[in-house]
Amino acid sequence: MDPIEQRRLLRTEIPGPRSVALQAERTQHLAAGLGVTLPVFVDRADGGVILDVDGNQLIDLASGIAVTSVGAAHPEVSRRVAEQVERFTHTCFLVTEYDGFVQVAAALNRLTPGDHEKRTALFTTGAEAVENAVKIARTYTGRPAVVVLGHAYHGRTNLTMAMTAKNVPYKQGFGPFAPEVYRVPSPYPYRWPGGAEAAAEEAFAQLAEIVTTQIGAGNVAAIVAEPIQGEGGFIVPPPGYLAKVAAFAREHGIVFVADEIQTGFARTGAMFACEHEGVVPDLVTTAKALAAGMPLSAVTGRAEIMDAVAPGGLGGTYAGNPVACAAALAALEVIESEGLVERARQIEALARPRLETLLGADSVVGEVRGRGAMLAMEFVRPGTTDPAPEVAKAVAAQCHREGVVALVCGTFGNVIRLLPPLVISDELLDDALGVIERAVKEAS
Ligand code: PLZ
């Protein structure tokens, strides 16, 4: 197949007539609970472009929510997936083994932070990885409680819903939730009552107090945190916070779990976001960009913790599917050989200054934040920090009409996030940023 030309091209309104027709069919057949950001049906996708069924070429600033970092059809990934599909699609690793699973585990043991002895278990979805990290931490410590942060997102299964902070749409009506999940404040610098400078220390003090006085440190199996909070609003913790939490966990025999499902694999300008602060978690959960779109997730961590669960305690029919493992081995090679960690930093260097020109005392842009190719703008009523979700919605809608796939996030729905494939060209990124700039000015 010819590569898709890497430029934005609008042939019809967005969504076009074919997408509209398919959308009508979708509405007839699909459960209403499945949402959609942009009701456009895709024909092909690669690099920084999504080609829709009406022939429009959209700029991808979503990467399928931080998944297709190497592009949605990287030739090396496609080749290795096709090769694996011809050999076999499935055996169930719990029944008979295959080497791809072992090689992915070895790669994760090598790439994740810290040079201690590690082990990995593969699963299928991000939520499943988080659930298994908790299972492992509970077995290792013999303790029940799990501590999570405000604004956290960890998934949609029963335990991970309990761990996720935001009610609508993730939790409303779905309870009762799993017990023994406790929430401490997120050190959200932009919104910290005592100011950004005080956030690390004060938020940590609150965590320590809640753990020691309300839960009892001896009852806590794990503290689970995203090193940059994703769905919650691309919240970068203030410097020092994660290190303090990791040290506190160590001191109290608590397993510190970094949920790197959204931040992992070069996205933030480091292989893992924990590296920006020199933090070495006990366990790391990964998924998304790991296998370039094939469903694969992992828990990687200290050998003594990972090995606490007896044989048979971990698994799943599809866990570490061989096709997904082949994709992961290719994607990890591409991330390293194409220098995508460095590329994420270049994307930040191109995009951040452009977004920052939109800041100002009477601007709707309250803050520009993030790291690498995980950047966001938080919208507020000018002159205040009151969330302005209607502005984020209007900016996203305008971007969509102009052929740029932009995503909204944040507890208050007032954040526009940029998650381009790391292989996006400078020209495409530049074009997309121009669209965003005009959309923000119009929405102001
Ligand atoms: N942990 C940090 O970002 C998934 C959710 C999309 P799954 N984020 C995208 C949606 O609305 O369902 C995510 C994450 C972090 C865990 C998960 C869960 O990963 O693969 O979606 O289960």
The rounded distance, in Å, linking the Cα atoms of 164 and 166 is 6
Q: What is the pLDDT of residue 370?
A: 98
Task: Summarize pLDDT for 288-343 with one digit per residue, the tens.
Answer: 999 999 999 999 999 999 999 999 999 999 999 999 999 999 999 999 999 999 99
Q: What is the pLDDT of residue 1?
A: 85
Question: May I ask the CATH class of domain 77-337?
Answer: alpha beta
Question: May I ask the CATH class of domain 17-60+339-443?
Answer: alpha beta
Task: Summarize pLDDT for 181-215 with one digit per residue, the tens.
Answer: 999 999 999 999 999 999 999 999 999 999 999 99
Question: Which residue type, as a one-letter code, is found at position 186?
Answer: S
231 C-beta closer than 6 A to ligand 1: yes
Ligand 1 test: best mutation among 36, 65, 161, most atoms within 8 Å of CB? 65
Strands in 57-60's sheet, in edge-to-edge order, are 42-46, 49-52, 57-60, 404-405
Strand partners, 380: 387
Among protein residues, the one with the nearest Cα to ligand 1's atom 19 is: 126
Task: Summarize pLDDT for 122-158 with one digit per residue, the tens.
Answer: 999 999 999 999 999 999 999 999 999 999 999 999 9
Among protein residues, the one with the nearest Cα to ligand 1's atom 7 is: 126
Tell me the domain boundaries of the chain. Answer: 17-60+339-443, 77-337
* pTM of the model as a whole: 0.98
Query: 156: closest CA among 91, 99, 231, 92?
Result: 231
Atom of ligand 1 nearest to the CA of 170: 11
For residue 68, the CA-to-ligand 1 centroid distance in Å is: 14
Atom of ligand 1 nearest to the CA of 157: 22
Using DSSP bridges, classify how beta strands 49-52 and 42-46 pair: parallel, antiparallel or unpaired: antiparallel
Banded model confidence at residue 98, pLDDT cuts 50, 70, 90: very high
> Is the distance from CB of 115 to CB of 288 less than 8 angstroms?
no
154 C-beta closer than 6 A to ligand 1: yes
Peptide bond just before 353 cis, omega within 30 deg: no
Average pLDDT of the chain to the nearest whole number:
98
